[in-house]
Structure 1
């Protein structure tokens, strides 16, 4: 896709996120909106090798949404990519749906691993990268973690393991919006500079604007092209805004896990429409 098309795609995904969460009456809009541009870059920017017609294709790249509460962003992305009908997004969190509150790999094509318990996703991604090396299969492993999630000790056990094992085909993107459910990460449990912390654990570190889709495509594409076994894993520190695209949600911890009301949805959709007009 061209840059303007990617921007429009991200905008459409944001609209779907808000509509489905409003319809469900529950969900996590803030962190879903902050990682939308990353998912757009991965799935529509030519970065991720994936095939909706063959989700289990040998040699594909793997994507793990470690911050599983941002499932609406992943669902909308997968629907737009052709993994299932867009109309199914309206079933989010409803009885019998495939679109659970957190991604379920047993139900939905395109979901590599069930996630949601924060701190576990990087371990799974590291295990996948190690497995690819052992089997000789092609492909990289991408994962998106929340910065609040990086307060979990298991993240750093996985980071230590990945660096020690030289899992160079592992690329972890940190959604660094600086907010979590209880407030600013630096007030709740300050993780410090996450780039410096990953570097201290033996990772290569790259910083990027998490809402600059062109920069994301270029950065992630370059990292994928350079990825190799027996190299350092890479942490991409993506500076983002929680609730990105909706003025009254941006930088507001209160929108971490609250569904918009109908009138709030109308305002939000109008703002997103105006943004690409």
Structure 2
């Protein structure tokens, strides 16, 4: 009938086809759950972790029981497994997934996490994430240096460097420095996975002693080659002055000593002797 009436509703009671199981004295229980990231990769025998956010969307403080299931039977753990969350707030648990040693690369495990209200077990929410098995890849092998040779002296100030490709390398870094500690390299060049040569561009390197090495790099680490040294000297030495035997000398000895002006440090000489003036 028309007019004002007082109606008393008990928790869980149905009135007019409306179930009041989620209401208590005008309050509501509700929950939302989300997992991040939704996808992670790991190696066989490894563990991947996810953040499980549980939001209390109701108007009452509540506690939630967390449960995890999967389709591959991998090791699952939730910490903590029960979250007490004030109304309108969020708390986070950690989902750990242990990938079996025997897991085949490229396989996936789908994990479902459910948050269930302890105030009303009909109130729950769930979310899914995926764990993916990757290939076990090691750091790359070290490159072997080919040229310039160790200790080489050259008058080419735009030398070409050559090395072998590091196995499993995604990139190679060439370092050339006039200090053997490579603290401020003259050349610091990042090259590709299949690059094994590099030529210095003009105007080139200054006359000096240099050290060089190559670092092979991939996502799992890096590996350095040995270090080689070389000298660039683009200034020709002074012309030597011949000493003995004198020009047009006639000698009657089988063993002849040849002399010329005293050499500079670091200079070597080739002596040519011929019975033809054209050599």
After TM superposition, the score normalised by the length of structure 1 is 0.19
Flag the structure with more relative contact order, 1 or 2, with Cα contacts below 8 A and sequence separation at least 6: 1
More strand by share: 2
Higher helix share: 1
Question: Higher Cα Rg: structure 1 or 2?
Answer: 2
State the TM-score, normalized to the length of structure 2: 0.19
